[in-house]
Amino acid sequence: MRFLKNKIARASSLNPPTLPQETPTQKSAQVIQFPPKETSLQKKPQSLRPKQDFPSHSPWMLKKHISGDNIIKNYGRAMTNFALSGIAQPYLQTIMSELNISLESFSNFITKRKKSANCIKKLRAMLPMGTDEDEEDLEVKVAFQKICIVFLKFFVANWLYSSKIAEKVVHLQYRFKILRRVRNPQYFTYLKDFSHAPFSN
Q: How does pLDDT run across 31-80, given as a tens digit for each residue? A: 555 555 555 555 555 555 555 554 444 443 444 455 678 899 999 999 99
185 near 124, Cβ under 8 Å? yes
pLDDT given for residue 18 in this prediction = 55
| DSSP notation for 31-90 | SPPPPPPPPGGGSPPPP-SPPP---SS-TTSPPS-B-HHHHHHHHHHHHHHHHTSGGGHH
Contact assessment for residue 102 and residue 96, using Cβ atoms and an 8 Å cutoff:
yes
Which pLDDT score, from 0 to 100, does residue 138 have? 93
pLDDT of residue 54: 44
pLDDT exceeds 90 at position 201: no
5 or 164, higher pLDDT: 164
CA distance 110 to 2: 151
Reported as a pLDDT band with limits 50, 70 and 90, residue 191 is: confident
pTM higher than 0.85: no
Q: What is the pLDDT of residue 187?
A: 85
d(CA 159, CA 155): 6
Asked whether the beta carbons of 129 and 185 are under 8 A apart, the reply is yes
Q: Please give the pLDDT value at position 80.
A: 97
Per-residue pLDDT band at 183 (split at 50, 70, 90) = very high
